[in-house]
Amino acid sequence: MPTSKHFGDRLAQHVRQKNSSICVGLDPRWNSLPEALKQGVDVNDMRAVATATEVFCRAVIDAVASVTPIVKPQAAFFEQLGPAGMQALAGVIQHARQAGVLVLLDGKRGDIGSTAEGYADAYLGENSVWQCDALTVNPYLGDDTLVPFVERAVQRDAGIFVLVKTSNPGSGFLQDLLVGAQTVFQRMADLVESHAGNSQGDSGYGCVGAVVGATYPQQLAELRGRMPRAWILIPGFGAQGGSAADVLPGFDSSGTGAIVNSSRGIIFAYQQQQYSNLDWQEAVARAAADMAAQLALG
């Protein structure tokens, strides 16, 4: 089992131990959950919906724990269920930790001053109330908004993944704008690399990483070179159109330094033709194993 406390090193150790670079996104859309879990549940009863959602996510974690270093619960799908949903999220986080899987909360937090400090204090590290290993952070209010997250991540051996070049079609509206000779996303990448270098561990990677979408493979290749000490979280694989060939430029020369996220393609695999003959949890496990194999083949 991993021994280092440093987040960048722990992630490297988990990736190596499981021989896998996949990140399983936990996006528990109610309408897509298996019918067996929804049966008899009143959709107006948020507590009952939240309970079924937690059961689903725990079962997904059990199915993928042997092949995924890290899971990424999407906070929005729990928040929309109210207080019961937040209790379910807490249960999911603890279940992942017990299963030996790192937890990256996809909350895209970002604010100024004491508010940013509050978010960082709430989510980052095993001594926080939420006990997440890492958090996605939106830096587009300015560079000062990153500082509280970076400081707390360093203090608590946690990590952050900063939005640099996101996978959505409209990302270019802001991120591709030129600021002098640089695009906004290039300038953001340089900031991330600076923080990553200042928090570098034995693995060569820092506790500050970047989010760069698989849907922009040319920029992904450029940003891998621009951020040599930053882990890259690559969304957009599978359902959003990104292929194994598209994500390959996000890895370093030794085949590490990136984790590739898939949500729908794994957690709702039972809806896909090639897994339709399997129990839904078996379909999840098979889809995760297949994705890990795809990435290993490059």
List the structure tokens of 143. 């560079």
Q: At 114, phi and psi to the nearest 5?
A: -65, -25
Strand 258-262 and strand 208-212: the pairing is unpaired
Burial class (CB in 10 A: 0-12, 13-18, 19+), 278: middle
Longest dimension (CA), the chain: 59
* CB-based burial, 36-55: b 16+ in 10 Å, e otherwise: ebbeeeeeeebebbbbbbbb
Measured CA to CA, the distance from residue 202 to residue 3 in angstroms comes to 12
108 as an active site residue: the answer is: yes
Beta strand 182-183 with 178-179 is antiparallel
Per-residue buried b or exposed e for 136-168, using 16+ beta carbons within 10 Å of the residue's own CB: bbbbeeeeebbbbbbbbbbebbbbbbbbbbbbe
Distance CA(12)–CA(76), nearest Å, equals 28
Checking phi first, is residue 204 left (phi over 0); if not, alpha (psi -120 to 50) or beta? left
Tokens, residue 169: 């079609």
Burial of 231 (0-12, 13-18, 19+ CB in 10 A): buried
Which one of the listed residues 5, 18, 72, 108 is annotated catalytic?
Answer: 108
Query: Sign of the C-alpha dihedral, residues 31, 61, 102, 237?
Result: negative
Positions marked active-site: 108
